[in-house]
Amino acid sequence: MDEKQNYLVRSETVSSVASEARAVGSTDLVDENGEIRLIPMPTPDPKDPLNIPDKQKWLAVGILCFFGSLALSAEVIIGALIPVFLLEYSGVDPRVLNDVDFVANSHGSINFNPLAVVPPGVVPADLGKVSLLATIPLLANGIASYFLVPLSIAIGRRPVLLLTGACAWIGGLWAGLSTSLESHMAARALQGLGAGAVEALIPLIVQDIMFIHQRNRAMSAVVSSQGIIIIALGVAAPYVAANFTWRILYFATSGFGILAWGLMIAFLPETRWTRGREELSGQRIYELEPGEKRPRLDPDTYGPRTTYTTIGFFQFGFEWKEAGMSMLDTLRTTLFPAIVWATLANSAFVIINQAAQQLGSFALLAQGWQFQYTGLSVIPTVAATIAVYFLGGPLSDKVSLMITRHHNGVREAEFHLPNLLLPFACGILGCFVFGYAGQNNLHWAFILLGAFFLIFAFLMVLTVVNVFVVESYPIWAGPVLVNVSSLRIIIAFFLSSQITVWVTEKGILNTFAIYAEALIVLSLGIPALWFWGRRLRIWTAGSVNKVDGGKPKQVEHIGYAV
């Protein structure tokens, strides 16, 4: 059998007695002794990414945090600089923003006309085209995931992540050197392609190398670290743009992006690995000695882990057929009830967070803040990211594990759903606080408080939902992540562009009240999936025969490239 087959064929331990079936996404996480089992079950192959030492795994997560936060921050922070670009492409020095009287222009109302920043007698640039600088990366990001994940299945995670990483920093340099609005927009689209890796590939790599009881902590680290970089850039961006030049921001993020790209080249391992349903459900398909949680490594049979097998390129061959199947699986899983709900929930929080970001700075300007200091409006993100790291990581893992122990050690994907109760409650509360404060021109502290609730809810939902959908359909991890990450961004792209129109027509309180009502309706999906989620998983994905122990028998099968 050639080397490529070794990655697709597994030695399974098959029980001689017919055994019960488990729904896809259901696992025995806790054994009869109360110990946590390792799920997915690692193989004896030293090259298996689950066999990477823990220190190297967390180093990889740290590098992904650094890269992801830079890519996303370069994408989202620019959205706060629309007044700067409006002046730039109207032929006016953006530094005049420091002299604009926003209170007089807005009459203390959040319904501020962005074109009011353009001096009288100057023909303003097309506001719609300038606004695309903030939104076009979202569309590029969402579309990119549909192709990046199948490509990562075909050729490996590393080549695709390094390609998108290069797109991110090249796009940043291009934007910094651009001389026209059209060139700037094209550069932003390329940046969005780079950020597409953050939405789908990074969660996919996390599930490649982490056992299910570790994933909440890893994902919360990724999400909260993004907030840290966004905070730093968010505070600096308006000040730098209003006093120096916005191009510095692109050059700075691209410089750090090149550093992150170099770290990925040197230390990020290839994590694509083919696993069967039984391995993904954590069944003991390899012979284990008493007291062992994982099979012993067998380099004599499978070959040792080397530098090339760890950080090389195309070392595990090409899987174009599996990539094509993953695109079909993406279409197939689009209408799965859990995926539809997860996508809608994610989309709602993205839209609401976008609305708060766009309107928050105008609300502060209407209260007399100088534009150069509006970057301080990211202060709620500081508290939110800290809270998400602990509540969305260790605490969420403990809650899910506690429920698992209560159910005799059987882990269901729906055991993550209670972790969504707090963020939904905070999201609903945040909508009313932010909307009421903006409508009635309350003290800016109330605006920031509402923003905190919304940011915390958004980041928590992003963390927990990614883990939930992957555990629900581990055999289609890539396709379900593509659906949830891409569709929510595409939906948000079209609806976020209407935010200022809705606020003008309905008022900010009525607009955010509608958002709150949408969240209340979506929250009904939590109890629905709690009671019927397992049946829906069986209906949509079938079940897995439970095998545990017995004499080892060589069985050839093609696993699922996820």
> pLDDT by residue (tens digit) across 274-327?
888 778 877 778 888 777 888 899 999 999 999 898 888 988 889 999 999 988
pLDDT over 70 (residue 3): no
Angle at 239 between CA 388 and CA 182, to 5 degrees: 90
At residue 99, the pLDDT reads 77
The winner for highest mean pLDDT among 29-43, 296-310, 455-469, 517-531 is 517-531
- The pair phi, psi for residue 546, each rounded to 5°, is -85, 120
Distance CA 244, CA 121 (A): 25
Least confident stretch, 73-82, 199-208, 245-254: 73-82
At residue 319, the pLDDT reads 92
Residues, the chain: 562
Hunting for tokens 């694509």 — which residue is that? Answer: 272
Exposure on the CB side of residue 75, measured as CA atoms within 13 A:
31
At residue 105, the pLDDT reads 62
Hunting for tokens 């506690």 — which residue is that? Answer: 402
The pTM of this model reads: 0.81
pLDDT over 60 (residue 555): no
Query: Which residues, 6+ apart, have CB-to-CB distance to 51 below 8 Å?
Result: 42, 43, 45, 297, 305
Q: What is the mean pLDDT of residues 57-86?
A: 81
Residue 545 burial (CB count, 10 A): 15
pLDDT band at residue 269 using 50, 70 and 90 as cut-offs:
very high
Return the higher-pLDDT residue of 536 and 376: 536
Q: What is the mean pLDDT of residues 363-381?
A: 79
**Residues 223 and 462: beta-carbon distance below 8 Å:** yes
Query: What would the pLDDT profile of 105-121 be if each residue is shown by its tens digit?
Result: 665 556 556 666 778 88
pLDDT band at residue 556 using 50, 70 and 90 as cut-offs:
very low
At residue 111, the pLDDT reads 59
Domains delineated in the chain: 12-561 (1.20.1250.20)
Percent above pLDDT 70 for the chain: 87
pLDDT over 60 (residue 551): no
pLDDT band at residue 130 using 50, 70 and 90 as cut-offs:
confident
At residue 1, the pLDDT reads 38
Q: Dihedral angle at the C-alpha atoms of 232, 235, 237, 240, nearest 10 degrees?
A: -110
Q: Which of 75, 554, 111 lies closest to 366 in space, CA to CA?
A: 111
pLDDT over 70 (residue 552): no
**Residues 81 and 89: beta-carbon distance below 8 Å:** no
Distance CA 393, CA 387 (A): 9
Q: Quick one: which H or E segment has residue 49?
A: none
At residue 543, the pLDDT reads 66
Exposure on the CB side of residue 174, measured as CA atoms within 13 A:
18
Tokens of 391: 């509540």
At residue 238, the pLDDT reads 87
Tokens of 42: 């690692």
At residue 79, the pLDDT reads 63
pLDDT over 90 (residue 133): no
Least confident stretch, 275-284, 312-321, 455-464, 518-527: 275-284
Distance CA 228, CA 155 (A): 32
Q: Do the strands 410-411 and 560-561 form a parallel or antiparallel pair, or are they unpaired?
A: unpaired
Least confident stretch, 185-199, 325-339, 429-443, 511-525: 185-199
Return the higher-pLDDT residue of 527 and 278: 527
pLDDT band at residue 549 using 50, 70 and 90 as cut-offs:
very low
Angle at 116 between CA 112 and CA 120, to 5 degrees: 160
At residue 340, the pLDDT reads 94
Distance CA 541, CA 538 (A): 5
pLDDT over 70 (residue 398): yes
Q: What is the mean pLDDT of the chain?
A: 82
Q: What is the mean pLDDT of residues 341-351?
A: 92
At residue 546, the pLDDT reads 59
At residue 41, the pLDDT reads 87
**Residues 97 and 90: beta-carbon distance below 8 Å:** no
pLDDT band at residue 180 using 50, 70 and 90 as cut-offs:
very high
Q: What is the mean pLDDT of residues 168-184?
A: 93
pLDDT over 90 (residue 82): no
**Residues 345 and 465: beta-carbon distance below 8 Å:** yes
Distance CA 338, CA 536 (A): 8
At residue 545, the pLDDT reads 60
Q: Which of 367, 346, 333 lies closest to 457 in space, CA to CA?
A: 346
